[in-house]
Amino acid sequence: MSGAGANRMGPGGWTTLILAGVYFVVPLAMTAAFSLWEGGSTYGFEAYRLLLASADLPDALLLSMELALATVAALLLLLVPAMIFMNLYAPGLRPLFEFIATLPFVVPAIALVAGLTALFTGPEWLIGTPFYLVIPYFFLALPFAYRSLDVGLRAIDLTTLTEAGQSLGAGMGQIIRMVILPSLRAALVGSTLLTLAVVMGEFTFANVLLFRTFAVYMNQMGQHEATAAAALAVVSFLITWAAMLGVLIAGRGQTSIPGGH
């Protein structure tokens, strides 16, 4: 094998990619085709019409969207300022923050929900409302939001930027608003969209805690109506695709993406 041969995509590379392509495209194509099946040899959009006509879908979809937005708000209000201030004033707390960001990986969602139900049996205003889910969703999003913000914060020299701002007479609030947050834009948009995608499809917590979110509704619907289930899978693939497209576009502003480009 010559040096040039190692750089070109040889038959091995193409075979790998074609096999992977078949594995990834076939289920999508089959699901899309199946969602259009109306029995016998008739095809049409009946399954999608059925979904739109369903009285419960808007409620479930709306609830999931509200939960997704609330989770994003919680991340922006609780995690982002804490990380900025930790980097500025208390870098000694970094190991603790790292530990907390690893915990949701070590404690699987189903274990956390078991712990939450064991520990909190009240008050009703907290555990009785679907917005109780924002708490576990916050931790679901924490590891990747932390990682992406950490990369963003390391890429800028926080202390120098702050000192420069202060010597120019800016207050801390101004510095955060006008210097730090704009330079974290890609990390913020990226983790926001990823959080939206994750919460929209989250099933574990909602199912165990008995709240009818989009994924729970999808599961109930799909157990009776096979073609509706396929249609829901297609719709949810499109939602994920739209969210990821947003992440990719947001990431384009970032200059230091390793690889690619």
Partner 1 sequence: MKAPVAWLFIGAFLAVCATFLVAPTAMLAIQAVTGEDGFTLAYIETLGQYRYRVAFEHSLYLSLASATAGVVAGGLVAFAVLKPGAPAWLRSLVTSFSAVAANFAGVPLAFAFISTLGTLGLLTMLLKRIGLDLYDMGFSLFSITGLTLTYSYFQIPLMVIIITPAIAALRPSWREAAEILGATPGQYWRHVGLPVLAPSLIAAWILLFGNAFSAYATAYALTSGNIGLVTTEISAVLSGNVAADPQIGAALSVGMIVVMVTVLAISTAMTRRASRWTARS
Site for partner 1 in 196-215 (CB under 8 A): 197-198, 201-204, 207-208, 215
Residues 142-181, mask of contacts with partner 1 (x by CB under 8 A): -----------------------------xxx--------
Question: Among residues 50, 88, 151, 161, which is the contact residue for partner 1, using CB under 8 A?
Answer: 88
Helix (H) or strand (E) holding 16, with range, is helix 11-35
Cβ atoms of 236 and 203 within 8 Å: the answer is: no
Of 54, 183, 236, 254, which one interacts with partner 1 (CB under 8 A)? 236
Q: What phi, psi does 72 have (nearest 5°)?
A: -60, -45
Residues 98-137 as x/- pattern, contact with partner 1 by CB under 8 A: --x-xxxxxxxxxxxxxxxxxxx--------------xx-
Closest CA to 205 of 120, 134, 146, 141: 134
**227 close to 47: Cβ distance less than 8 angstroms:** yes
Could you tell me the maximum CA-CA distance found in the chain, to the nearest angstrom?
A: 76
> Nearest approach, Cβ of 29 to partner 1 (angstroms)?
9
Give the footprint of partner 1 on residues 47-86 (CB under 8 A).
Answer: 78-79, 81-82, 85-86
Counting contacts by CB under 8 A, is residue 30 touching partner 1?
A: yes
Nearest to 103 by CA among 55, 69, 139: 139
